[in-house]
Amino acid sequence: MRILSGVQPSGKLHIGNYFGAIRQFVEYQDKAEESLYFIADLHSLTTLRDGTKIREYSHDVALDFLALGLDPERAILFRQSDIPEVAQLYWILGAVTPVGLLERGHSFKDKTARGLPADAGLLTYPVLMAADILLYGTDKVPVGKDQKQHLEFARDICTKFNLTFVPGFDSQDPDGSRTKAPGILKSPEPIILDETAVVPGIDGQKMSKAYGNTIDIFAPEKVVKKRIMSIKTDSTPIEAPKPPDSALYQLLQILAPRDEADEIESTWLEGGVGYGTYKKRLVELFHETFGQARARRKKLEADPEAVSRILSQGARRARELAAPTWNKIVEATGVGIEIEV
Ligand code: ADP
Ligand code: TRP
């Protein structure tokens, strides 16, 4: 099984990103035969137009992932734009993608409704994403539920390509076991990451960069403490039972080890412990959870060359994995240059 996912280089990671997505990515590196993770720098051009920033954020994402446990021995970490065939496949797929499909895109509709300019890149964003996925013969794609429609588009575009370029292709028999006309591109399955794992922010809403309510994994110690101490709580007195719909309670439940989480549950519901005590414990739990990653990131920061090496090695391996599919695409479409492996 081959797993792939991408993340846009768009700033600092918070603990919601970790529990909602990255933790699972790290787990898949042991579950899948091959796992590929890339920094979607081409996608970020739809919102970020500053070369220095894109380069800087891309490097940061790589640091974050490595610090949080992605192991370049087991997973392939690379930068999207290091693989030139991605952009070529994007064009080829665009040639068979109906505009009507793209105009139904939630993300395109939301962004244009909010007054963002309707750049072609915003419209064709899902085509590039399909190219990312299909180039490597991906089986499964772990993503947040906001990306569900993009995966459906990738599946549609995959079928469209095979119908166009594989004579005798039947979408009911994509492997060609009956027709002897297997598709060149493989249809990917989404893995929609657990919806129940919504991590609340310090104001009680969903934690999100957009709401300014995050606790960032790699923020300076003082900032982390300040953020945690300012989690919104009510005026329930120390001795009284506390309401379980509180962000503080939910964060404790997410970060504490099982036994302690149960203990916290009972004291929370019985009363006797004040919010201040719980917050102090949350600061400790934060460091117990992320201390190692924070230390590892510091080390990596000191050696930017090592990160560049990991990324270029990753790109080489990713391109090798792309070769069989890409070479068939070149053969079938009559455009492009084969990858020699
Ligand atoms: P943000 O909302 O801060 O901009 P992103 O949209 O970049 O975060 O999210 C990246 C990934 O992190 C997504 O796959 C999403 O599933 C996950 N994620 C983000 N915020 C949360 C949260 N509060 N709880 C759980 N998962 C989250
Ligand atoms: N669009 C995704 C996001 O914003 C990032 C992404 C780009 C991606 N290409 C991908 C995710 C391919 C999975 C597979 O989160």
Extract the tokens encoding 153: 């588009």
Q: Residue 148: what pLDDT?
A: 94
- Amino acid code (one letter) for 90: Y
* Ligand 1 atom with least separation from CA of 201: 23
Q: 196 falls in which pLDDT band (50, 70, 90)?
A: low
Is residue 145 flagged as an active site residue?
no
Summarised one tens digit per residue, pLDDT across range 227-253 is 999 999 999 999 999 999 999 999 999
Summarised one tens digit per residue, pLDDT across range 67-100 is 999 999 999 999 999 999 999 999 999 999 999 9
Please choose from 17, 39, 206 the residue to mutate so as to test ligand 1's pocket, defined by most ligand atoms within 8 A of CB.
Answer: 17
Query: What is the CATH superfamily name and number for domain 2-197+304-333?
Result: HUPs (3.40.50.620)
pLDDT of residue 309 exceeding 80: yes
Summarised one tens digit per residue, pLDDT across range 278-291 is 999 999 999 999 99
**Cα separations in angstroms, 326 against 19, 89, 198, 332:** 34, 8, 38, 10
DSSP strand E in 80-200: where?
140-143, 189-192
Q: Residue of the nearest CA to atom 11 in ligand 2?
A: 6
Average pLDDT, the chain: 96
Ligand 1 geometric centre to CA of 199 (Å): 9
The hierarchical CATH code for the domain 219-300 is 1.10.240.10
pLDDT of residue 27 exceeding 80: yes
Q: Residue 146: what pLDDT?
A: 86
Q: What angle do CA 19, 24, 30 make, to 5 degrees?
A: 145
Ligand 1 geometric centre to CA of 195 (Å): 11
pLDDT of residue 197 exceeding 80: no
Summarised one tens digit per residue, pLDDT across range 251-266 is 999 999 999 999 999 9
Q: Residue of the nearest CA to atom 2 in ligand 1?
A: 208
Q: Residue of the nearest CA to atom 8 in ligand 2?
A: 6
User: Distance (Å, rounded) from C-alpha 168 to C-alpha 190?
Assistant: 27
pLDDT of residue 195 exceeding 60: no
- Looking at the CA of 201, which ligand is closest? 1
Summarised one tens digit per residue, pLDDT across range 160-192 is 999 999 999 999 999 999 999 999 999 999 998
3-state secondary structure of 131: helix
Extents of the domains making up the chain: 2-197+304-333, 219-300
DSSP strand E in the chain: where?
2-7, 34-39, 75-79, 140-143, 189-192
